[in-house]
Structure formats: C-alpha cells, structure tokens
Amino acid sequence: MAVPIKLDTGTDLICGYFLTPDAPPVPVSFEEIDAAQQRSGGVLWLHFNLASARARDWLDRKSGLDEFAREVLLDANDDRTRLEPFDDGFLAVLSDMHYDFNFEPSDIGTLRLFMDERRIVSCRRHPLKAIDRLRKSLHDQGRYGSTAALMAELIDMLADTLGEVVTRAEADLDKVEDTVLAERYQLARQRLGQLRQLIVRLRRHVSPQRAALGRLATGSVPWIDDDDRARLGHSVEKFGGVLYDIEALQDRAKVLQDELLARVADQQNHSLHVLAVVTVIFAPMTLISGIFGMNVAGVPGVGSIEDHVSPHAFWWVMLSILLSGLAMLFFLRPRK
C-alpha cells in the first residue's frame, strides 16, 4: 500500500523519504534524519525549507557537508545555474517555477541540492512546482534504487513544468498576434513586451541548465551505472527539446514585434501624410487671409464704400482663397 504523501506545509523539513527499489517510500521526520542517514540499501531524500531557521541550522551544523557545499545551499543571493562535481557527489543550483506561478519573470525560483551515491539534500525558499510534483509522484512510483534515477525523474519534472509554461506563452503569443491584426496596437505592445521579457529570462535560465545537466549525464561517475546514465541522457534530451521550443518562441516573438513596429510606423506615416496634405492645402488660404487681415493702410479691398472700395471685395477674397485651395488639390492629385 502506498504511503500517503504529506502536503508542503512550509515547515523546516518539507519532506524526507528513504527510497528502495522494491518497497514503498518510507517517510522520514526531522527527528529521524540521523537514523535514516545510517541506513543502507536505499536512497535518502531530504527536502528543506530555507525560510526555516531550524532547517538552515541543520544544513550548517549537522549535514556533514563541506563548507563550500553549505555556502552554496544556504546562499540566498546567488541564483546562477550550476552543476559541478564536488567531493564524491554533485552540487547543483537549478531553476524551477514558483508554485503560484503568475506568468511573471520574477516567478522563476531556485532549487539547490547536493547529491551523492546515497542521498539527495535539496532546499528552496519558495514553493516550487517541479520539486513538488516529484514529491507527489512518490505516491505512485516511489521505488528508486539510486540517486541518479531520482535525479532523472526530477529533470523530467523540470522539463514538463517548463514545457507547460512554453505552451501557455505560445497561446498568449497567438492572442497578441490576433490583437495586432485587430489593430489594437497599444494593448499588443504591452503584452508582447511582458512575454518577451519572460521568454528571455526563461532562455537565460534554461540554456545553462541544459548544458549543466548534460555534464551529469555524460560524466564518468563511478556510482552512476549505464542504465541510470541512459535515463539521465533521455531526461536531458527532453530538457533540450524545451530549450528548442523556447528559442523558437523567442524568434517568433521578435518577428511579431517587428511586424507590430512596422504597422505602427505605417499608421504614423499615414497620419503625418494626411497632416502634411492638409497643411499644404491650407497654406495659401492662410497666406491670403493673413494679408487681408493686416491692420495697415493700402491693402486692396480694405476700406468702406465711401473710400470707393467695391462692396463685393469680401467675396472676391473668399473666391481667391477657394481657388487657391483647389489649385493645391490639383497639384497634389495622385499621378501615375
């Protein structure tokens, strides 16, 4: 019978399991960690909440890890993706989506872990999707004979989580394209800018992560057998497919932005053209009306009837203004 999986309550030890290839996972509480580390014939996975002072204290004082490994696990500022060999294991800093991911670039979180032949010690500050899926998947398939097999499953979960984000981004990009075709340029520019920012940050995290995980799959580590290495390689290939989709999405977003800018430029050019035509048509009219509006003596047609000025002078001025406008329309007419 499968062991029920505890929910992530945000305590010091989010979850702990002793995993064997032929039995369901055995939950490990915080008080049972020392005893669990003495057991053999299985894999120990401890997942800590770095927001807990008790968890940080255990990692710093009782984990048995080297000082450099402790610094990497406890560092709250350095979120650079890495996976590097250390002693007889690996240190890794990987990217994962926040559990309450709202499609914002800031919702990309960091998962830190150390793995060797017998155990995986992972930690995070915010609830993360992929690692939580791995924890829940132990419900159905919690039989792992090595840390490499468990790591391969985690890489699969990371790829699936990122793939869902890429699929949603692609759907949003389709909506932006429809918005551009509907000539709602302001809304399209705002949403497209947010999407491009997210895609760029995803690529910035996923590209080095794929390269780092590739080193784990191709490295000559004595305690990773051929089957686990093949499984790691398959998981990394799946991760590479997600990276390819991100790059394709980035290219598509760039093309769509170029199209949007071209349409906005055409709209602005059309508006400037109309303004220029109107300005040219009214230029002679403005000139004539300005001349006859001068408050100086001697302007033809300005004066009273007693000054022997034609009573129809006003209409002659209006006619000259109209004729000048028609003349400009004639000169500005489209030509073959």
Name the DSSP letter for residue 51: T
Q: What percent of the chain has pLDDT over 90?
A: 12
- Write down the domain spans for the chain: 8-145, 146-273
Q: Which residue, 211, 190, 249, is CA-closest to 84?
A: 211
Q: What pLDDT is stored for residue 83 in this prediction?
A: 85
Average pLDDT, the chain: 81
| Residue 301 near residue 292 (C-beta atoms within 8 A) | yes
The whole model's pTM is what?
0.75
Residues 6+ apart with CB under 8 A from 148: 223, 224, 225, 228, 229, 231, 232
Question: Whole-angstrom Cα distance, residue 111 to residue 162?
Answer: 14
Calculate mean pLDDT across residues 243-255: 91
Residue 2's pLDDT band (boundaries 50, 70, 90)?
very low
pLDDT digits (tens, 9 = 90+) for 162-194: 888 889 889 989 988 888 888 888 888 888 888
Calculate mean pLDDT across residues 213-240: 85
Q: What pLDDT is stored for residue 4 in this prediction?
A: 42
Residue 5's pLDDT band (boundaries 50, 70, 90)?
very low
The structure tokens listed for 178 are 């429809």
E strand or H helix at 69, and its extent? helix 67-74
Q: Which residue has the tokens 């991760």?
A: 239
Q: What pLDDT is stored for residue 320 in this prediction?
A: 74
b/e 190-202 (16+ beta carbons within 10 angstroms → b) = ebbeebbebbebb
Question: Whole-angstrom Cα distance, residue 241 to residue 150?
Answer: 21
Question: Whole-angstrom Cα distance, residue 13 to residue 5?
Answer: 13
Q: Identical fold at 8-145 and 146-273?
A: no
- To the question of domain 146-273 being in CATH 1.20.58.340, the answer is yes
| pLDDT higher than 70, residue 141 | no
The structure tokens listed for 290 are 């300005």
| Residue 121 near residue 63 (C-beta atoms within 8 A) | yes
Calculate mean pLDDT across residues 47-61: 91
| Residue 119 near residue 46 (C-beta atoms within 8 A) | yes
Q: Which residue, 137, 81, 64, 129, is CA-closest to 103?
A: 129
Q: Which residue has the tokens 């977003």?
A: 253
Question: Whole-angstrom Cα distance, residue 72 to residue 178?
Answer: 45
Residue 48's pLDDT band (boundaries 50, 70, 90)?
very high
- Which of 91-100, 274-283, 321-330: highest mean pLDDT? 91-100
Q: Which DSSP string corresponds to 192-254?
A: HHHHHHHHHHHHHHHHHHHHHHHHHHHS--TTS-HHHHHHHHHHHHHHHHHHHHHHHHHHHHH
Q: What pLDDT is stored for residue 112 in this prediction?
A: 92
| pLDDT higher than 80, residue 1 | no
Q: What pLDDT is stored for residue 66 in this prediction?
A: 85
Q: Which residue has the tokens 């590209």?
A: 207
Assign domain 8-145 to its CATH superfamily: CorA soluble domain-like (3.30.460.20)
